[in-house]
């Protein structure tokens, strides 16, 4: 008997068929468990089973005729249940149910919802807070991170009464009122008057940052590097990380500033230290982002990843300008000089790694963080001339953090000279990055649009750029301000009744952003056909990804046409079905935008259109196919191959749309109708028939 080969020997290994999924081979399972902080693997198994059961139910429902009352009733119950649970974005189509996966249920775990609502920055931290009793739903404290949170329960999510985490956040933000302070003092058995400082506010203690285990380990590596090479360097964490930590948020991206060498030099010292003392420690290679003064990128930055935390390392800087150049001379600077050249005071705070203390060299950063103000360290005009993109960053931070803009920033933001610098000094790619960050965050995206409009910036950033030209010779984009303000106001009302999924809401905000060019077209190249100007603004003006620009421009194009449609067209299932097949799930977004564009007296038309489409059975029509394919048309109906096949396929789909059903009820009648259509087309297009026959003979001769 021959010896078994290695691959045959593997087949003889004993395998526990239940435990095999615990191996590292199942990458997807491990990824989901890690991403959503699932502590018990059995939860993941349950989520998979639930999604599978829903898929089976949908399959059974689809076997019933679309007009069946039982199917309609059960579909409504299923969609309502899953939407209430929060596992599908909209209750509009069974297609959403088929797309369910374990991730759909994992996203509704309490710990994930807590993180998504910005109570914490990481799911692991949310797990700890929940288990420690810091989170409650309504009056009830919840200590199970795996609890499923419905949409209704999510609205009642809050810090639990007496939570120390809540108190620390409120204390730093000076949100503790007199009653809370008195209750706190009473709990400590002291005189309440002693707990009240001057006036009616608690005197805030010296701000302190509590490090996570990873942050402690990374900072230890940095300090050990300094001791190892006997350096006099004072390393400081800077920027957004310090701000977020003081606001009670977590971040795995830290900016490190050093005072006596370049960031690249120090980054390589950290890497060399780890390679020498801890070869197995997690440390990536060092990347360097070179300075580009022409585009207001004055500082060279070294990047590396240490112990799974991303570090951006650079040196403290100072800048001087010559009279004949707008490009500064950058040199090593002091902490005071570096802080004064940063964008905003709340981003100019440092955390000194040597003293483990927060440093505020502008003297305003901590006060502005408490008061909720976005302010520049220097005069706003000087700060914006240094990097005009900071105007957009001011809007993003203001809406994201809920802070108000300083009056000086509002005044400087309307300066035409700053707009000119924004056009010449800052690349459009950087514009796009900031706009994307503003609008992709659903809770504040509409606030960002409103602020861009009120500051007058929106007309500057919504141009098509140099790589595309308007097709219309006398094209003049409209003033976006009044249009966008009105659309934002209307959208808040519309979405309260018809909520959209996050990705649909983002696409809609992009479409609203470009509302000033509705009806216009751009041409990218002479050889290419013209496109919707919305695409030109997003793709060429803001350099957003092609998929996002395509999606938003398609929505705006359809919405514009719908807003001009007659009532008869809106009542036609074929007319509406064509748009639904073109946009698929996004048809709801286009109707929503059309409703916003319409005068108040006509909005009900689009409400009725949406309801009629959902109730008529057209939802999912983008998946419908012609009952008789091209091969059968040629073989059974005598249809010549060629250009006419697509026409007959479309006519079949139109007939399905007119009946609001993908199922042919009377097959004999349908085939008779189709034969008539084929005969009429053949009679009306003799030249096309002749070309098709000639092409067929040529193919046979070639064979």
- The dihedral sign for the CA sequence 424, 426, 429, 434: negative
pLDDT at site 698: 53
Q: Is the per-residue pLDDT at 325 higher than 60?
A: no
Burial class (CB in 10 A: 0-12, 13-18, 19+), 429: exposed
Q: 599, 604, 580: which is closest to 590 by C-alpha?
A: 580
Angle between helices 546-563 and 573-583 (to 10 degrees): 170
- The Cα 493–Cα 486 span in angstroms is 11
Q: Is 195 within 8 Å of 182 (Cβ atoms)?
A: yes
C-beta atoms surrounding 246 within 10 Å: 22
**What average pLDDT does the segment 164-175 reach?**
69
**What average pLDDT does the segment 543-571 reach?**
92
Containing H/E element for 609?
helix 603-616
3-state secondary structure 98-134: HCCCHHHHHCCEHHHHHHHCCCCCCHHHHHHHHHCCC
CA dihedral 58, 63, 65, 67 (to 10 degrees): -10
The token pair at 317 is 């800087």
C-beta atoms surrounding 67 within 10 Å: 14
Q: 436, 339, 362: which is closest to 396 by C-alpha?
A: 436
18-33 residue pLDDT tens: 555 454 456 778 888 8
pLDDT at site 434: 93
| Residue that wins the pLDDT comparison between 148 and 327 | 148
**What average pLDDT does the segment 655-670 reach?**
87
The token pair at 309 is 């935390």
121-165 residue pLDDT tens: 888 888 888 988 889 888 788 889 999 999 888 888 888 877 777
Q: Is the per-residue pLDDT at 469 higher than 90?
A: no
Q: Which of these ranges, 269-273, 326-330, 387-391, 411-415, has the smallest mean pLDDT?
A: 326-330
Q: 630, 377, 612, 597: which is closest to 487 by C-alpha?
A: 597
Strand pairing of 373-374 and 404-405?
parallel
For the chain, the average pLDDT equals 83
C-beta atoms surrounding 379 within 10 Å: 11
563-619 residue pLDDT tens: 888 999 999 999 999 999 999 999 999 999 998 888 888 888 998 998 888 888 898
CA count, 13 A, side-chain hemisphere, 679 = 6
The token pair at 667 is 């097959």
pLDDT at site 1: 67
pLDDT at site 204: 37
pLDDT at site 231: 93
CA count, 13 A, side-chain hemisphere, 506 = 18
485-511 residue pLDDT tens: 888 888 888 877 778 888 999 999 999
pLDDT at site 16: 58
- The Cα 480–Cα 457 span in angstroms is 10
C-beta atoms surrounding 103 within 10 Å: 17
pLDDT at site 441: 83
Q: Is 291 within 8 Å of 285 (Cβ atoms)?
A: no
The token pair at 325 is 């150049």
Domains 110-173 and 210-235+250-371 share a fold: no
Strand pairing of 531-532 and 521-523?
antiparallel
Site of tokens 């309801």: 611
Q: Is 514 within 8 Å of 556 (Cβ atoms)?
A: yes
- The Cα 515–Cα 510 span in angstroms is 9
CA dihedral 624, 628, 629, 633 (to 10 degrees): -150
| Residue that wins the pLDDT comparison between 659 and 497 | 659
Q: Is the per-residue pLDDT at 320 higher than 90?
A: no
C-beta atoms surrounding 242 within 10 Å: 27
Q: Is the per-residue pLDDT at 406 higher than 90?
A: yes
Strand pairing of 140-141 and 157-159?
unpaired
219-253 residue pLDDT tens: 999 999 999 999 999 999 998 899 998 888 888 78
CA count, 13 A, side-chain hemisphere, 9 = 5
The token pair at 470 is 């308007």
pLDDT at site 187: 40
The topology (CATH level 3) of 210-235+250-371 is Beta Polymerase; domain 2 (3.30.460)
Q: Which of these ranges, 7-11, 209-213, 593-597, 613-617, has the smallest mean pLDDT?
A: 7-11
Q: 306, 114, 276: which is closest to 214 by C-alpha?
A: 306
Site of tokens 């696409």: 507
Q: Is 350 within 8 Å of 359 (Cβ atoms)?
A: yes
The alpha helices in 441-571, defined as continuous H runs, are 442-455, 458-461, 480-497, 502-513, 533-535, 546-563, 567-571
- The Cα 645–Cα 640 span in angstroms is 8
Looking at domain 110-173, its CATH architecture is Roll (3.10)
Contacts of 529 (CB under 8 A, 6+ apart): 523
pLDDT at site 198: 29
pLDDT at site 696: 56
Containing H/E element for 381?
helix 380-386
- The dihedral sign for the CA sequence 337, 343, 345, 350: negative
Residue extents of the structural domains in the chain: 21-106, 110-173, 210-235+250-371, 483-623, 630-702
74-86 residue pLDDT tens: 888 898 889 889 8
- The Cα 412–Cα 384 span in angstroms is 8
- The Cα 11–Cα 19 span in angstroms is 17
Query: 3-state class of 14 per DSSP?
Result: coil
24-71 residue pLDDT tens: 456 778 888 888 989 888 888 899 899 889 989 988 888 888 888 888
Q: 143, 183, 180: which is closest to 160 by C-alpha?
A: 143
290: confidence class by pLDDT, cuts 50, 70, 90: low
Query: 3-state class of 289 per DSSP?
Result: strand
- The Cα 634–Cα 48 span in angstroms is 45
Backbone torsions φ then ψ of 19, nearest 5 degrees? -85, -10
- The Cα 574–Cα 558 span in angstroms is 15
**Sheet of strand 521-523: strand arrangement:** 469-470, 521-523, 531-532
396: confidence class by pLDDT, cuts 50, 70, 90: very high
- The Cα 53–Cα 624 span in angstroms is 24
What percent of the chain shows pLDDT beyond 90? 32
- The Cα 119–Cα 128 span in angstroms is 12
Query: 3-state class of 253 per DSSP?
Result: strand
- The Cα 348–Cα 343 span in angstroms is 8
- Please tell me what DSSP assigns to residue 437: H
- The Cα 44–Cα 107 span in angstroms is 12
CA R_g for the chain? 31
Q: Which of these ranges, 333-347, 515-529, 669-683, has the smallest mean pLDDT?
A: 515-529
- The Cα 696–Cα 692 span in angstroms is 6
Q: Is the per-residue pLDDT at 196 higher than 60?
A: no
- The Cα 197–Cα 189 span in angstroms is 17
- The Cα 534–Cα 603 span in angstroms is 23
Q: 529, 527, 582, 577: which is closest to 556 by C-alpha?
A: 582
Containing H/E element for 523?
strand 521-523
What is the C-alpha end-to-end distance of the chain, expressed in Å?
A: 54
The token pair at 337 is 């000089």
**What average pLDDT does the segment 660-669 reach?**
85
Backbone torsions φ then ψ of 681, nearest 5 degrees? -65, -40
192: confidence class by pLDDT, cuts 50, 70, 90: very low
């Amino acid at each position: 008997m021959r010896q078994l080969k290695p691959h045959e020997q593997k087949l003889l290994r004993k395998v526990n068929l239940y435990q095999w999924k615990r191996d590292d081979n199942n990458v997807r399972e491990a990824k989901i468990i890690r991403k959503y902080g699932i502590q018990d693997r059995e939860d993941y198994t349950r989520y998979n089973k639930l999604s599978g059961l829903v898929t089976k139910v949908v399959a059974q429902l689809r076997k019933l005729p679309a007009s069946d009352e039982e199917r309609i009733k059960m579909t409504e119950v299923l969609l309502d249940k899953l939407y209430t649970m929060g596992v599908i974005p909209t209750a509009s189509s069974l297609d959403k149910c088929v797309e369910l996966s374990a991730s759909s249920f994992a996203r509704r775990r309490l710990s994930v919802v807590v993180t998504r609502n910005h109570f914490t920055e990481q799911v692991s931290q949310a797990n700890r807070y929940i288990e420690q009793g810091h989170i409650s739903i309504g009056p009830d404290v919840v200590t199970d991170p795996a609890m499923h949170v419905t949409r209704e329960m999510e609205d009642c999510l809050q810090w639990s009464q007496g939570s120390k985490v809540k108190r620390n956040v409120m204390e730093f933000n000076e949100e503790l009122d007199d009653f809370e302070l008195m209750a706190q003092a009473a709990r400590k058995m002291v005189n309440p008057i002693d707990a009240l400082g001057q006036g009616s506010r608690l005197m805030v203690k010296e701000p302190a940052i509590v490090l996570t285990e990873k942050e402690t380990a990374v900072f230890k590596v940095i300090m050990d590097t300094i001791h190892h090479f006997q350096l006099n360097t004072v390393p400081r964490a800077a920027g957004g990380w310090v701000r977020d930590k003081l606001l009670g948020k977590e971040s795995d991206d830290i900016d490190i500033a050093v005072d006596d060498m370049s960031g690249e030099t120090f980054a390589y010292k950290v890497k060399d230290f780890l390679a020498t003392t801890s070869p197995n420690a997690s440390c990536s290679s060092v990347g360097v982002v070179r300075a580009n003064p022409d585009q207001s990128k004055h500082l060279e930055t070294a990047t590396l990843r240490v112990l799974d935390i991303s570090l951006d390392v650079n040196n403290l800087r100072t800048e001087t300008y010559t009279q004949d150049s707008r490009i500064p001379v950058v040199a090593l600077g002091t902490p005071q000089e570096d802080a004064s050249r940063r964008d905003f005071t709340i981003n100019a705070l440092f955390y000194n790694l040597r003293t483990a203390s927060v440093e505020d060299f502008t003297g305003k950063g901590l006060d502005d963080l408490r008061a909720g103000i976005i302010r520049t360290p220097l005069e706003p005009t000087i700060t914006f001339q240094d990097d005009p993109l900071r105007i957009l960053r001011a809007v993003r931070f203001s809406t994201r953090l809920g802070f108000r803009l300083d009056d000086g920033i509002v005044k400087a933001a309307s300066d035409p000279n700053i707009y000119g610098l924004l056009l010449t000094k800052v690349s459009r790619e950087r514009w796009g990055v900031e706009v994307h960050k503003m609008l992709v965050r659903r809770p504040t995206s509409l606030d960002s649009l409103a602020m861009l409009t009120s500051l007058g910036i929106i007309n500057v950033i919504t141009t098509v750029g140099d790589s595309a030209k308007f097709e219309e010779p006398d094209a003049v984009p409209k003033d976006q301000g009044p249009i966008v303000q009105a659309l934002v106001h209307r959208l808040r009302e519309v979405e309260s009744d018809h909520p959209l999924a996050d990705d649909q809401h983002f696409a809609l905000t992009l479409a609203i952003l470009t509302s000033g060019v509705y009806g216009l077209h751009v041409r990218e190249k002479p050889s290419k056909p013209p496109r919707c100007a919305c695409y030109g603004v997003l793709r060429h003006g803001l350099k957003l990804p092609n998929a996002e620009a395509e999606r938003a421009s398609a929505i705006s194009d359809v919405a514009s046409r719908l807003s001009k449609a007659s009532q008869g067209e809106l009542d036609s299932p074929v007319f509406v079905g064509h748009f639904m097949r073109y946009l698929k799930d996004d048809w709801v977004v286009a109707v929503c935008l059309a409703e916003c564009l319409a005068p108040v007296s006509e909005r009900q038309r689009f409400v009725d259109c949406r309801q009629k489409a959902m109730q008529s059975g057209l939802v999912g029509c983008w998946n419908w196919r012609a009952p008789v394919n091209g091969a059968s048309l040629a073989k059974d109906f005598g249809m010549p191959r060629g250009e006419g096949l697509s026409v007959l396929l479309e006519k079949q789909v139109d007939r399905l749309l007119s009946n609001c059903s993908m199922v042919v009820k009377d097959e004999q009648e349908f085939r008779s109708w189709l034969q008539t259509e084929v005969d009429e087309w053949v009679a009306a297009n003799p030249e096309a028939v002749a070309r098709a026959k000639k092409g067929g003979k040529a193919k046979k001769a070639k064979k």
